[in-house]
Amino acid sequence: MSDVITTDVVIIGAGPCGLFTVFELGLLDIKCHVLDILDRPGGQCAELYPEKPIYDIPALPLVTGADLTSRLMEQAAPFKPQFHFNQMVTSLEKCGDTDFVLMTDGDLVFNCKVVVIAAGGGSFMPKKPPIPGIDAYEGKSVFYSVKKMEAFRGKDVLIVGGGDSALDWVNNLQPITNSMTLLHRRDEFRAAPDSVNKMRELVAAGKMKLAIGQVTGLGGADGMLSSATVKGTDGNSFDVACNTMLPFFGLTMKLGPVADWGLNLTENLIAVDTEKFETNVSGIFAVGDINTYPGKLKLILSGFHEAALMAQQAFRYINPGERLLFQYTTSSTNLQKKLGVA
Amino acid sequence: MAKITFIQHNGNEITADGIAGMTVMETAVKNQVPGIDADCGGACACATCHVYVEPDWVAKTGKRNPMEEDMLDFAFDVRDNSRLSCQIKVSDALDGLRVKVPEKQF
Ligand SMILES: Cc1cc2nc3c(=O)[nH]c(=O)nc-3n(C[C@H](O)[C@H](O)[C@H](O)COP(=O)(O)OP(=O)(O)OC[C@H]3O[C@@H](n4cnc5c(N)ncnc54)[C@H](O)[C@@H]3O)c2cc1C
Ligand code: FES
């Protein structure tokens, strides 16, 4: 296990609301670490609709999900937040009277005074195809992500899907596998043209196979796969021999570990007050899509407002007894120094 | 107004009033039809609103659009009559529409 990272605040989730929380806390001299399961910031904006326009961000008549994310990153940058991507927060516990301890699936441990849950619609998790009996193979011969490429050396790998993850892993893993088959429901791919071309070259050179159809069943024993049954486009079934399968059907949001932290939930959302956006546990706040209160709207602008108000209470926990001055960024030299513009 | 029937995997049927201009997905969500998750709220970005249009209705509901065709790559057990229900707009012409909801969206 790694050393404990000690900080004022840990923010769970690097979606738009988590990112703006960095800014609001930063204005109050509060330092944060930000954790996300995804490999990049932006939450839903980055994962579900990077290219789509958003029309209701105040003062930005039109901004795409990707642009909003990069602007929020720029706005938060003066406060030097520390990001930890590809980390799912798995546990959150109180430690003593004032501290919290958080752990991630990547074995990071944090100790902090305040936790802000900005977990949005929940953790992004890979979609698991409902193939009968697949549970028995998961983690043994069926995987939804590649953590270490070496684990696939010498294997007979079947990759299912037609997007970027599927094609990237076909091309990256092919050289070290014993055999590689890509299975997709149609002979058209939404992945980047470069990776599709590379895959087609490998197929033409006889280095891998491309099969068109959909998996309907799995064969094997004791969690070890030996074949996948595929229904072809003509309706006929055939078997593909493989001892490892990687299905890539995109991500879906599930509440995940947040449900197990002893917080009051209402229909899978964290109940908060509307003054401080604090949960039933003092020191744990929730902002953005993950929270609920009377009148809540799941909009980015609501999350921004919530971040500004919760930061005030976070300041009181982190600096007990200190007075909090209300200041404008336009006129306060103090704030401008923090922003690096004075 | 158009009556839309959602046939569950277990055979149960839920018939709902669809309002012209709304989508079939929105009609399902408004009437709490189980099995339509609609994670992305109708942006054609999640494929968790997948339905099978009953054969007699395929012509009336029309063809998949290219974005929908791409997104169906992320659905499971895609068939010729597969559609993303957020991409079907309700109209009077669809009064009586019947769609099957898959056992699981994922
Ligand atoms: C297609 C679409 C269009 C939209 N259009 C608009 C619009 O026009 N205007 C508008 O205001 N809103 C819009 N929204 C809604 C908007 O995207 C959300 O309100 C916003 O993303 C919420 O931000 P958030 O930071 O609360 O959560 P999210 O963006 O959901 O980010 C939460 C992050 O937390 C991470 N996370 C969760 N649990 C854990 C854990 N245990 N450990 C580590 N990380 C975790 C997740 O991986 C995720 O990255 C739209 C949404 C969609 C899907
Ligand atoms: S609701 Fe997400 S694709 Fe239809």
CATH code for the domain in which residue B46 is found: 3.10.20.30
Same domain, A189 and A325: no
Tokens (6 digits) for A22: 């960095």
- Three-class SS of residue A203? helix
Give B-chain residues touching A161 at CB under 8 angstroms.
73
How does DSSP assign A141-191, residue by residue?
Answer: TB-SS-S-GGGGTT-EEEEE-SSHHHHHHHHHHGGGSSEEEEEESSS---S
Q: By mean pLDDT, which of A89-93, A159-163, B43-47, B89-93 is the weakest?
A: B43-47
Same domain, A23 and A88: yes
Q: How many CB pairs under 8 A join A and B?
A: 50
Q: Is the CB of A36 under 6 A from ligand 1?
A: yes
Same domain, A139 and A106: no
Domain boundary among A249, A264, A285: A249
- Tell me what pLDDT residue A276 has: 98
- Find how far residue A213's CA is from the centre of its chain: 30
B56/A contact by beta carbon, under 8 A: no
Distance (Å, whole) CA B24 – CA B99: 9
The whole-model pTM stands at: 0.84
Cβ contacts of residue A144 below 8 Å, gap of 6+? Answer: A126, A128, A138, A246, A247, A248
- Tell me what pLDDT residue A2 has: 66
- Tell me what pLDDT residue A267 has: 85
Same domain, A236 and A261: no
How does DSSP assign A261-318, residue by residue?
Answer: SS--EETTEEE--TTT-B-SSTTEEE-GGGEE-TT----HHHHHHHHHHHHHHHHHHH
Domain boundary among A249, A266, A294: A249
Instruction: Give how many domains chain A has, as a whole number.
Output: 2
Distance (Å, whole) CA B21 – CA B60: 15
- Counting ligands in written order, the one closest to the CA of B45 is 2
Distance from CA of B98 to the nearest CA of A (A): 24
Domain boundary among A249, A264, A279: A249
Distance (Å, whole) CA A181 – CA A191: 17
Same domain, A216 and A230: yes
Residue B73 to residue A49, Cβ atoms within 8 A = no
- Counting ligands in written order, the one closest to the CA of A68 is 1
| Domain coverage including residue A132 | 128-249
User: What is the Å distance from ligand 2's center to B74 Cα?
Assistant: 11
- Tell me what pLDDT residue A37 has: 94
Same domain, A100 and A243: no
Global ipTM: 0.89
- Find how far residue A242's CA is from the centre of its chain: 30
| Domain coverage including residue B51 | 2-105
Same domain, A211 and A198: yes
Same domain, A286 and A324: yes
**Looking at the predicted structure, is the pLDDT value of residue B105 above 80?**
no
Report which ligand 1 atom has the smallest distance to the Cα of A55.
8
Q: What is the mean pLDDT of residues B46-52?
A: 94
Instruction: Give how many domains chain B has, as a whole number.
Output: 1
Residue A252 to residue B40, Cβ atoms within 8 A = no
Residue A250 to residue B46, Cβ atoms within 8 A = yes
Same domain, A132 and A245: yes
Going residue by residue through chain A, which has 342 residues, state the pLDDT in tens, using 9 for 90 and above: 568 999 999 999 999 999 999 999 999 999 999 999 999 999 999 988 888 899 999 999 999 999 999 999 999 999 999 999 999 999 999 998 889 999 999 999 999 999 999 999 888 889 999 899 999 999 999 999 998 899 999 999 999 999 999 999 999 999 999 999 999 999 999 999 999 999 999 999 999 999 999 999 999 999 999 999 999 999 999 999 999 999 999 988 888 999 999 999 998 899 999 999 999 999 999 999 999 999 999 999 999 999 999 999 999 999 999 999 899 999 999 999 999 998
